[in-house]
A and B are shown apart, each in its own frame.
Chain A
Amino acid sequence: MSTDTGYNFAYLDEQTKRMIRRAILKAIAVPGYQVPFASREMPMPYGWGTGGVQVTASVITRDDTLKVIDQGSDDTTNAVSIRKFFAKTAGVATTDRTTEASVIQTRHRIPETPLKASQIIVYQVPIPEPLRFLEPRETETRRMHALEDYGLMHVKLYEDIARHGHIATTYAYPVRVNDRYVSDPSPTPKFDNPKMDNCPALQLFGAGREKRIYAIPPYTKVQSLDFDDHPFEVQTWEQDCALCGADDTFLDEVITDDRGGRMFVCSDSDYCRERRDGGHVGAQSPEAAE
């Protein structure tokens, strides 16, 4: 498969890929540590997935099948845009199906279908530094990681509990990787945090504007920070998915009218479709209406 764009395979020049590849290897060797890299300007804006795109472009080969999701769905505009970018510049096969993908680039979700060994999931990360909102200075946070000084983070979480009765972090919920580095799972909902622990797939994180790459190798311990008296817990919904009836997935809330009407559907559109194809029905699926 050749590309007709006039650009190199997967857009990036080989020199840039080598630089990113070196960063990825070091990121895997030191799980959860953020490796600085000389992020390039990409033809899409910073904040729109340039880090994930650079990581994907550096790992992808012609044999890969790529899936791109945003908010769990393959059909959101930015997912479509990034998928088109790789179809055009790398000529790779693309898919909606989690099980068929060898590389999955995502923004804000981890698929509901458990990931397999040999799959690579690439997260788009806006702010890779989990301590950034507690301490804006890079010089300070770098020291905290070096000294394994995460007291500030625990204080913040505990203050939440004191004020709200809950840890008030619902997405980008900090994790500790391999009992060492506190890391940002990217702004995935904390619902997805347990999927990161001991995951058979390789997890790569790219932050383009902030120029950082980090990684979680397969089968690595990933612990969501918590306290003995306030253990980590994930979101739950009173409703099931209105389309497929799933009661254990992350649900999107959809406003259906201006009188307070709303319904809840799976955020993972592929998982939901697969369930419906398998005969599962929800309260408002067409089959149920018949």
Chain B
Amino acid sequence: MSAVDTLMPDMLLKGFDDPVDAGGRAFRALLDAMANPGTPFSITCPAEHPAQLSDAAAAVLLTVSDYATPVWLADDIASTDVQSYIRFHSAAPLTDDPAAAVFAVVAQGFEPLMATRFNTGTEDYPDRSTTVIVECAGFTGGTPVQLAGPGIEGTTRFAPHGVPLGFWEEMQMNNAGFPLGIDVILTAPGHVCAIPRSTLIEVN
């Protein structure tokens, strides 16, 4: 936590400069990402964001969350700053229960994702599953994996670094449960990249 944050806990951070226009652009980045798994896209970000949340993760939350979507935050993210930022800009209720979350945010680090604690939807309504925002350090330089499936022409290689321990093995398990499963949006400064449940993963 930075000194500025502790000094001015009540200071409200700014969201999107123009919520209509920026929200629309940010969504298109998200749409492109979800439609092209494993390909990073740059995303329009809010003017300011709390220190514990990347600008891209803040952009995703402000774009798609609102009063109707409970948000779950991992312990190391759930600071007062982040909570008041989300509550003010998106009005999303915060939940302690990962299985009740429509969106969840997992901090960058090496804690396992524990994908099964989230909602994976039901046979009748597989869409009612959690979308998990996973913060990572960057989209290159990590252990490369090979991705295939809907949205990918042939195969693509992807090597984000700073993903949770055992992330790809968990994502393989997640894919095996298709059409149930969580959908992951990886965030790195200014960028998003999606791994929906439909993506097949080959770990070398």
Contacts and interface: CB of A to CB of B under 8 A. Distances in A.
A17 B178 CA distance: 27
Interface stretch (A42-50, A166-174, A212-220, A268-276): A212-220
Interface in A13-62: 14-15, 17-19, 21-31, 33, 35-36, 58-62
B25 A28 contact: no
Nearest to B126: A30
B40 interface: no
Contacts of B66: 15, 18-19
Contacts of A202: 31, 35
A27 to B, nearest CB: 7
B198 interface: yes
A180 interface: yes
B31 A24 contact: yes
B151 A28 contact: yes
B73 to A, nearest CB: 18
A178 interface: yes
Nearest to B152: A219
A217 B151 contact: yes
A27 B69 CA distance: 17
Interface of A: 8-9, 14-15, 17-19, 21-31, 33, 35-36, 58-62, 118, 142-143, 146-147, 178, 180-181, 200, 202, 215-221
A198 to B, nearest CB: 8
Interface residues of B, number: 40
B179 interface: yes
Interface of B: 19-21, 23-25, 27-28, 30-32, 34-36, 63-66, 68-69, 102, 123-127, 129, 131, 149-154, 178-179, 183, 196-198
Contacts of B183: 25-26, 29
A62 B68 contact: no
B150 A62 contact: no
A217 B35 contact: yes
A59 B154 CA distance: 26
B25 A33 contact: no
Q: Rank and list the top 10 A-B pairs by shortest CB-CB distance, nearest first.
A: A29-B196, A217-B151, A146-B123, A26-B127, A220-B150, A217-B150, A29-B183, A35-B127, A219-B153, A61-B24
Nearest to A61: B24
Nearest to A35: B127
Given A9-B21, A178-B198, A59 B34 contact: no
Given A9-B24, A217-B150, A220-B150, A27 B127 contact: yes
B64 A18 contact: yes
Contacts of B149: 178
Given A14-B19, A25-B34, A60 B151 contact: no
19 contacts: A22-B64, A25-B30, A25-B64, A26-B183, A28-B34, A28-B151, A28-B196, A31-B198, A59-B31, A61-B24, A143-B124, A147-B123, A178-B198, A216-B150, A217-B36, A218-B35, A218-B151, A218-B153, A219-B153
Contacts of A180: 178-179
A29 B34 contact: yes
Most central of B31, B68, B154, B178 by chain A CB within 10 Å: B31
Contact of B24 (A15, A60, A178, A215): A60
Contacts of B150: 28, 31, 178, 216-221
B21 A33 contact: no
Contacts of B27: 17, 21, 58-59
Given A27-B127, A28-B151, A29-B183, A14 B64 contact: no
A107 to B, nearest CB: 22
Nearest to A220: B150
A25 B131 contact: yes
Contacts of B69: 22
A273 to B, nearest CB: 30
A88 to B, nearest CB: 16
Nearest to B20: A9
Given A15-B66, A59-B31, A33 B179 contact: yes
Contact of A220 (B30, B125, B151, B197): B151
Contacts of A118: 32
A59 B183 CA distance: 20
A30 B196 CA distance: 8
A9 B24 CA distance: 10
Contacts of B25: 61
Contacts of A221: 150
A33 B126 contact: yes
